[in-house]
Amino acid sequence: MKAPLPTLAALVRERTGAAWSRARKLCEEGRVRVDGERCLDPAARFSPDAAVAIDERGPRREAGPLAREAIVFHDRDIVVIDKPAGLLSVADVAGNRETVADHARTLLRRIGKSEDVPLGVVHRLDRDTSGLMVFTRTATAKRTLAAQFKAHDVDRVYLGLALGAVREADIESDLVLDRGDGLRGSHGHFRRSKGPPPADAKRAITHVRPLEMLRGASLVECRLETGRQHQIRIHLAELGHPLVGEEVYIRDYQGPRVTAPRTMLHAHLLGFTQPRTGAPMSWQSEPPADFEQVLSTLRSVKDR
């Protein structure tokens, strides 16, 4: 049996000679990068040969649930955010300000380069989903970008860790609030359809492509044509391959499960045309440390 990969704190300690507490603090303060990307989790595991760069006198990461570097892009029309897992996109109840929208607005005020205005919502990410999302800053931008989403002209690619050996698939279904057992799902999937989809059903299309086979799971790419609530989670579960960390749409799954701190889904690519100028714009975000740690563990287990 292979020894587990070293933690980031262990690699920092080895390279600097610092005490354990100091090594962990350097990670948490944002002064450590792995392969050029800042890593804040001292418990994340990496290969001993990983390119770990440590700047003990570098700028400290700002405290708060949304770091300043989470603002990937902003202009007078839009703001693109690299959302951390565990944070709501927008308020679930009136008065809840612990959201990406509110924290992003606070950060924009600190930057102080443009007018402070409420952020317009044109799409959402689940609380547990990390990655790229966009808000608008003017009514015109909101109308224009919302139209792009409605016309399926926005590029959205997600990376996920799904249970089992996933095969390439194009999934198209009508999503309903209750498929027959109290869960959201595809019309006719849980119970045989006795007629056409109800009027409130939403057409949903997901293109799934496996990228890497792991031990008990697969790294997959999911490209959306539509953006319905829980679309990827539902489609993968109904395909027989729920996401690693899934707790809702896993009722029918009988295979072995993999432990994870959250649902392993990351919004990797976002592209659209700038709502005022029409210029094409696109961004990519690599999965955060918790995703990479689960992926690394599944790779190492596979190689044993």
Q: Provide the residue ranges of all domains of the chain, joining segments of one domain with +.
A: 8-54, 68-302
What are phi and psi for residue 104, nearest 5 degrees?
A: -65, -40
We find that the CATH architecture of domain 68-302 is 2-Layer Sandwich (3.30)
* Cα separation, 174 vs 200, whole angstroms: 9
- Strands (E) in 116-231, as ranges, are 120-121, 130-136, 155-163, 169-176, 185-186, 202-213, 217-224
Confidence of residue 62 (pLDDT cuts 50, 70, 90): low
Q: How many helices (H) and strands (E) in the chain?
A: 6, 14
Give the global pTM.
0.79
The pLDDT score that the predictor gives to residue 236 is 98
Which tens digit of pLDDT belongs to each residue from 260-281? Answer: 999 999 999 999 999 999 999 9
Question: What single DSSP character describes residue 37?
Answer: E
Q: Which residues contact 150 (CB under 8 A, 6 or more apart)?
A: none
Which CATH topology does 8-54 take?
3.10.290
The pLDDT score that the predictor gives to residue 303 is 60
Token output for 16: 């600097």
Q: What angle do CA 156, 286, 117 make, to 5 degrees?
A: 65
Active site residues per annotation: 126
State the amino acid at position 270 in one-letter form: L
Could you tell me which residues are beta bridge partners of residue 163? 217
Confidence of residue 304 (pLDDT cuts 50, 70, 90): low
